Structure 1
C-alpha cells in the first residue's frame, strides 16, 4: 500500500506542477506470487506446489512450537469465521494437516476450469488472493 500511496502523491505533485506525467506500470504482484510458489517455472501453481508452500508457511508461522497455529500465529491471514470453518476438530487452532487442507481447498476454489493448475488470471480471483494469503 505504501508504494501506491507514494506513487499517487508523486503523480499529484507532477500534475500539480503542470508537468506531463509518464505512464508507469506497477509491478504485477500476481507474477511475483506465481514465481514465489512455482519451482518448476512453468508459469502456474499446481496442488503439489501449494502443499509445499502451505507446509513451509505453517512452519514459519508456528512460533510457539506446539504443533498448531492459533489466531495470533495466523497473523490475520484468516478471519475468525474462516478459522472456525477450517478447524474440523473445533479446538480453535489448525495443525499442519488442517492448514494444508485449507490451502488445497482454496487451490480448488481458485481453479474454476479444473485443469489442476492456477495461472496468473486465476490467482487474481478472490479465491486466488485468499490462497496467496495462506501460503505466503
Structure 2
C-alpha cells in the first residue's frame, strides 16, 4: 500500500498538486488517537527525533547533524548560548515556536488541516 501512496504522491507532484493527505498524517504524532496533536505530543515526537539525529550522543546537534532541518539563520536564532549547537531544550523551544505558528486558532492542538499548512509542514519536519 505504501508504494501505491508513493506513486500517487509522485503523480500528484508531477501534475503540480500537493498531496495533503500524505502531508497531514496526524496519527504519526498522536498517541492518544484523538485526531489532533498537542504540544506535549509534538515535543515527545521531537525528543525522539533529536535522539535519532544525535549519533555521537553528546546531547547536542550541530548544523551537520541537523542536516538542513534549520537554516543557518534559524540555528543561530535558536542558539541563545551561541555555541553553534542546539541541546534538547533549545531544539524543543524551536518545536514550541513552530507549534504555535501552526496553531493559528490558538486552541492548543493541531489537526490534519493545520498540519498540512506551510507552518504545520515546517513543524512536521522537526518531528519525523
Which TM-score band applies after superposition, normalised by the shorter structure? 0.7 to 0.9
Specify the alignment match of 1:19 in structure 2: none
CA-CA distance at 1:30 after TM superposition: 3.2
Specify the alignment match of 2:81 in structure 1: 89
Q: State the TM-score, normalizing by the size of structure 1.
A: 0.79
CA deviation map 1:104-135 (0-9, x unaligned): 11101111101000011111222111100111
Unmatched runs of 5 consecutive residues or more in structure 2: 1-5
CA-CA distance at 1:31 after TM superposition: 3.8
Unmatched runs of 5 consecutive residues or more in structure 1: 12-25
Specify the alignment match of 2:50 in structure 1: 58
CA-CA distance at 1:57 after TM superposition: 0.6
* Aligned-partner Cα distance in 2 for 1:27–1:124: 6
CA-CA distance at 1:3 after TM superposition: 4.0
Q: Which runs of 4+ in 1 moved over 6 A?
A: none
* Aligned-partner Cα distance in 1 for 2:120–2:79: 20
More helix by share: 2
User: Does structure 1 conserve the Cα–Cα contact (< 8 Å) formed by 2:27 and 2:33?
Assistant: yes
CA deviation map 1:54-111 (0-9, x unaligned): 1111001001111100011111111111111111111110000001111011101111
Specify the alignment match of 1:7 in structure 2: 11
Shift in CA distance, 125/27, structure 1 to aligned 2, threshold 3 Å: closer
Alignment of 1:24-39 (within 5 A): 28-32=21-25, 34-39=26-31
CA-CA distance at 1:6 after TM superposition: 5.2
Q: Which has the larger radius of gyration?
A: 1
* Aligned-partner Cα distance in 1 for 2:122–2:58: 25
Looking at both structures, which has the greater relative contact order when contacts are Cα pairs under 8 Å and sequence separation is at least 6?
2
CA-CA distance at 1:7 after TM superposition: 2.8
SS of aligned partner of 1:89? coil
Superposition RMSD in Å: 2.2
- Matched positions, count: 119
